[in-house]
Structure 1
């Protein structure tokens, strides 16, 4: 079955199509859930809730644009909604101009390959929730600060400052990690 057939089957609520959709996209959507969750159990719960939402709303997919993009949007919005309910998103009024410039050290860039994806994910998850959320949305999901501000109900300046602070903290964690393993 190709993607369009799977989607059509899901719209007809066929279990086989739903299972195939889950099998094709669960791994990618789980990685999104994990980026916005505190642990694997919370990410698994978010994954299940996300697929329930997908199956309940699949009729709203108009086959315009990428289906995977549509799925990602659902999972990201669900993760943000979950964070809002837990009041885990830090909202500050910091302005990015008050922050020091980040020095981009090419030595660190060369050392990045020594850090596994799971170790880097752990570093991102250890950030304060607001910082990690903005970092994920901007650096990984490729949303603009304007879009992030709208999604999180914060100002663009707050989005920028939380991203800059997240990068600063991550750079420190990477330096420490490299230092400990050198």
Structure 2
């Protein structure tokens, strides 16, 4: 177990061994955060690297009042969102066109016979269109409210709510299909 308070102090003094320790302690967990928002390991690694640059740049602003891991996670999420906004493969219109409408009907949730592990869920979430994926991650995983999401993404609160509901319904549809046929045919994005 590391002493986060001392580690932050040593990092602020510019001690390379402390910086390496901080990176090694949090990088695997933060890679998972970055990967949830991107569509490739390479992109997730880019976000992770950019995120840690910001962590070390702003470490002096960490007051030590909360959990260091949560503080770093928030930086990684913000970095991932900014990465999505500025990289053309991820630029998207959150209003989505009618090509996705067939997947957005309400579905009865929670089939008790369905079993799913965390990796399967992450894999399914990563198949969502980028806008759905981003909003689902921010709300369901990170715990942001729709008001916060609307501010982060520059969209209306109602758009956040509807995109989250559509993402959730799409995931439920996929889970139901997977339960019927374990060889889920992956959603093909246009």
Q: TM-score range by the shorter chain?
A: 0.7 to 0.9
The number of aligned residues is 174
1:105 aligns with 2:106: no
Q: Is the 8 A contact 2:136 2:164 kept in 1?
A: yes
- Structure 1, unaligned runs of 5 or more: none
Q: Is the 8 A contact 2:107 2:173 kept in 1?
A: no
| Residues 105-131 of structure 1, C-alpha deviations (whole Å, 9 max, x = no match) | 332xx413xx33222212111111000
In the TM superposition, 1:85-96 aligns within 5 A as: 85-86=86-87, 88-92=91-95
What TM-score does the superposition give when structure 1 sets the normalisation length?
A: 0.88
In structure 1, what is the Cα distance between the partners aligned to 2:175 and 2:107?
14
Structure 1's consecutive aligned runs of 4 or more residues displaced over 3 angstroms after TM superposition are 99-102
Q: Is the 8 A contact 2:149 2:160 kept in 1?
A: yes
| Corresponding residue SS for 2:39 | coil
Query: Which residue does the alignment assign to 1:80?
Result: 81
Query: Which residue does the alignment assign to 2:182?
Result: 181
Query: Which residue does the alignment assign to 2:153?
Result: 152
Query: Which residue does the alignment assign to 1:4?
Result: 5
1:48 aligns with 2:53: no
What TM-score does the superposition give when structure 2 sets the normalisation length?
A: 0.84
Comparing both structures, which one devotes a greater share of its residues to helix?
Answer: 1
| Corresponding residue SS for 2:114 | helix
Distance 1:102 1:173, change over 3 A: closer
In structure 1, what is the Cα distance between the partners aligned to 2:178 and 2:106?
22
Shift of 1:93: 8.8
In structure 1, what is the Cα distance between the partners aligned to 2:92 and 2:37?
11
RMSD of the TM alignment (CA)?
2.0
| Corresponding residue SS for 1:106 | coil
- Structure 2, unaligned runs of 5 or more: 98-103, 184-190
Shift of 1:69: 1.6
My pick for the range that moved more, 158-167 or 60-69, is 60-69
